Structures are given as C-alpha cells and as structure tokens.
C-alpha cells in the first residue's frame, strides 16, 4: 500500500540532468509510489506545439518508473516565474506532496534559498519533499525510518504526528540535540545547556526525558515505533549524522508554527527563519536523505 504522502506526487524538473537524478531517487521508492505528475518547467520560451514537442524527451528517465501500480503523467510548462507556475499547477493538481531536487546552476536551484524557499513552502498547501542531490543511505524497504528532531515546540510534535499519519508503520527516530545556544531549529528556543553546572545538567535531562515520554505517547496513539536519541553540537550536523549512521530514509519538519494566532497576511510577512527555521534551510540543500516539510 503506497504511503499517503506519495499517492499524488507533483514533480517539477528543470532539465535533463535533473530529470535523470530525480527519476533515480524516485525509482528507489517505487514500492511506495502511486501517481506522479512530472512537469518540465521551461523558463523564458514561448509555448508553441513545436517547443513542447522538442522538450518531451526529457521525460524518458521516468518511463522506467511507470507500471501497473504507478501512473506517470507528464507536461511541459513555459513561464517567466517558475515558482508562481509551480504553485498554480499544484493548486490545480492537488498533490499529496511536491517533490523537488535542488541542484547547482539550475533554474530550480534558487527555489530552496532565501525568499524563494518561503514562497514555495508558504505558497502551497501540500507538503514539500526535498530530494537530496544523491542518496547517501540505502533505499527504503517496506517501511520508512524517519528522523524527527524534537526541540520541545508544538511544531516538532506536529511533525511527529505528520510522520505517523503519512507513512505506513514508520520507525520514528526522535532526536533531541543539545545545541549551541546560537543555533535554532524552529523559531522557539532550542533547549540547550547554558552552563556546565550540575543543577543545569540535571534540569536538562529532566526536560529531554519529558520530550521523549510525549513522543512515546504519540507513537502509541499511531502504532508507530519510537526510538529516542540525544546528541550534542550543531543541530544540522547532528541531524545529518543521525540520518546517515542510523540509515534513515528521511527527515521530517513542520513548516509553520502551530496555533500562533497570526493572520495569513502576518504569516506571509514573516522572515525566512521564522517560517522554516535556519537549520531547516541548511538541511534543504545539504541533507543526505529526503526532507519532508509539512
């Protein structure tokens, strides 16, 4: 049974190299896929029948994915603003997720940096799956193992619930990072040791234990396996290290604060870091596994 997040996957691609690499990563997940809508985004050309025909060869790498189980639909879209086009197509297609692979020297490369990241993450209702440049771990088997960083915020636990809801029988690697005070995961302060005195250390251990107890409770509610880990140091590096060493199949984040009470206009006006977090921005381009942003 396909995991819920992969039932209707919208996949924008930039060029032939992007198509080849993206199709290889998605092919490794073939047992979890159901329907793909692959769109070649062409910037700056006029939409003519001849132009469209000239670009259709780009979909050839996806032919190996198509099967009785997986339906692959393709289209070529000409535009001046790729981000706006992707948001519009996603709204029409109503995918269960948008899958994009950032890469150097590509029109799509800027989608996950600065204001373009905010635009895509905030401007679409569907979750965003950021595919890595190349997989650094083994491909997923029957079930996914997913790193869910826990910093004590509601957003972190919403990400945990999302992982439990969207993937069939996942193994959740609940990770708490005791980080440098200057490093943030979400906009809320990431718990960290402010000193090395014994009292602070003891309080930190109590806080981490409470986080993990809550994670186990959510896992029990969804019949998901929960494994808990604590690491020290830089948050992004600790998350990547955990994903590689534990052979995880992905990292899961919540994109927006839960219950902030802000209007849509106020949310849109938020800065990049307040929307997706400094650490998430780093992982979007550097993570060795797919990053699932709800």
Q: What is the pLDDT of residue 267?
A: 42
pLDDT grade, residue 184 (50/70/90)? low
Which is it for the CA torsion 81, 87, 90, 96, positive or negative?
positive
Residue 183, in any domain of the structure: yes
Regarding whether 210 and 124 lie in a shared domain, the answer is: no
Q: What is the pLDDT of residue 221?
A: 95
Mean pLDDT of 245-252: 93
Regarding whether 166 and 124 lie in a shared domain, the answer is: no
Neighbours of 178 (CB within 10 A): 19
Do the Cβ atoms of 4 and 97 come closer than 8 Å?
Answer: no
Residue 137, in any domain of the structure: no
Structure token pair of residue 121 = 């993450």
Regarding whether 224 and 113 lie in a shared domain, the answer is: no
- CATH label of the domain that carries residue 194: 3.40.50.620
Strand segments, DSSP code E, in 29-169 are: 35-43, 71-79, 97-100, 128-130, 145-149
Regarding whether 177 and 85 lie in a shared domain, the answer is: no
Regarding whether 152 and 106 lie in a shared domain, the answer is: no
Regarding whether 264 and 155 lie in a shared domain, the answer is: yes
Query: Where in the sequence is the domain holding 120, given as residue range(s)?
Result: 4-130
Residue 33, in any domain of the structure: yes
Do the Cβ atoms of 65 and 171 come closer than 8 Å?
Answer: no
Mean pLDDT of 137-161: 86
Regarding whether 158 and 112 lie in a shared domain, the answer is: no
Cα–Cα distance between 10 and 88 in angstroms, integer? 12
Residue 116, in any domain of the structure: yes
- The mean-pLDDT minimum among 25-34, 149-158, 227-236, 249-258 falls in 249-258
Regarding whether 178 and 39 lie in a shared domain, the answer is: no
Sheet holding 145-149, edge to edge: 71-79, 35-43, 9-13, 97-100, 128-130, 291-293, 250-253, 145-149, 171-178, 225-232
Mean pLDDT of 249-254: 92
Residue 138, in any domain of the structure: no
Mean pLDDT of 78-105: 84
Regarding whether 98 and 21 lie in a shared domain, the answer is: yes
Residue 49: which H helix or E strand, with range? helix 49-55
Structure token pair of residue 62 = 């996806």
Residue 136, in any domain of the structure: no
Regarding whether 262 and 200 lie in a shared domain, the answer is: yes
Residue 140, in any domain of the structure: no
* Selection from 87, 32, 76 nearest residue 51 by Cα: 76
Residue 186, in any domain of the structure: yes
Residue 221: which H helix or E strand, with range? helix 198-222
- Counted domains in the chain: 2
pLDDT grade, residue 228 (50/70/90)? very high
Give the residue from 81, 100, 130 where a domain finishes.
Answer: 130
Cα–Cα distance between 34 and 3 in angstroms, integer? 9
Give the pTM: 0.82
User: SS3 for 83?
Assistant: helix
Read off the pLDDT of residues 104-147 as tens digits, 9 standing for 90 and up.
Answer: 544 554 444 444 555 666 667 789 998 887 766 566 667 889 99
Q: What is the pLDDT of residue 103?
A: 62
Neighbours of 126 (CB within 10 A): 19
pLDDT grade, residue 272 (50/70/90)? very low
- Percent with pLDDT over 90 in the chain: 38
Strand segments, DSSP code E, in 6-101 are: 9-13, 35-43, 71-79, 97-100
| Greater pLDDT, 23 or 178 | 23
Q: What is the pLDDT of residue 195?
A: 39
Cα–Cα distance between 184 and 188 in angstroms, integer? 7
Q: What is the pLDDT of residue 100?
A: 86
User: SS3 for 188?
Assistant: coil
- Has residue 197 got a pLDDT over 60? no
Regarding whether 153 and 282 lie in a shared domain, the answer is: yes
pLDDT grade, residue 282 (50/70/90)? confident
Give the residue from 130, 157, 191 where a domain finishes.
Answer: 130
The answer for residues whose C-beta is within 8 angstroms of residue 266's C-beta and 6 or more apart is none
Q: What is the pLDDT of residue 256?
A: 62
Regarding whether 286 and 167 lie in a shared domain, the answer is: yes
- Has residue 25 got a pLDDT over 60? yes
Cα–Cα distance between 186 and 150 in angstroms, integer? 10
- The mean-pLDDT minimum among 13-22, 174-183, 190-199 falls in 190-199
Give the residue from 130, 156, 184 where a domain finishes.
Answer: 130
């Amino acid at each position: 049974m396909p995991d819920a997040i992969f039932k209707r996957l919208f996949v924008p691609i930039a060029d032939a190299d992007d198509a080849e690499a993206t199709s290889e990563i998605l092919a490794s997940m073939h047992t979890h896929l159901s329907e793909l809508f692959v769109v070649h985004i062409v910037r700056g050309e006029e939409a003519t029948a001849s132009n469209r025909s000239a670009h259709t060869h780009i979909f050839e790498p996806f032919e190996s994915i198509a099967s009785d189980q997986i339906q692959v639909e393709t289209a070529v879209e000409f535009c001046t603003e790729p981000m706006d086009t992707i948001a519009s197509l996603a709204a029409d297609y109503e995918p269960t997720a948008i899958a994009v692979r950032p890469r150097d020297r590509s029109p799509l490369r800027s989608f996950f940096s600065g204001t373009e990241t905010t635009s895509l993450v905030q401007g679409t209702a569907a979750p965003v799956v950021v595919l890595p440049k190349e997989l650094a771990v083994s491909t997923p088997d029957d079930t996914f193992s997913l790193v869910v960083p826990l910093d004590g915020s509601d957003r972190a636990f919403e990400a945990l619930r999302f992982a439990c809801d969207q993937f069939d029988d996942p193994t959740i690697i609940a990770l708490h990072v005791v980080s440098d005070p200057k490093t943030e995961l979400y906009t809320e302060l990431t718990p960290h040791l402010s000193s090395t005195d014994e009292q602070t250390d003891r309080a930190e251990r109590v806080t981490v234990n409470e986080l993990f107890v809550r994670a186990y409770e959510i896992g029990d509610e969804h019949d998901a396996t929960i494994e808990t880990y604590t690491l020290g140091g830089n948050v992004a590096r600790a998350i990547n290290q955990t994903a590689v060493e534990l052979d995880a199949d992905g990292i899961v984040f919540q994109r927006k604060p839960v219950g902030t009470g802000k209007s849509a206009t106020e949310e849109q006006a938020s800065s990049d870091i307040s929307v997706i977090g400094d650490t998430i921005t780093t992982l979007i381009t550097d993570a060795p596994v797919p990053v699932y942003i709800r």
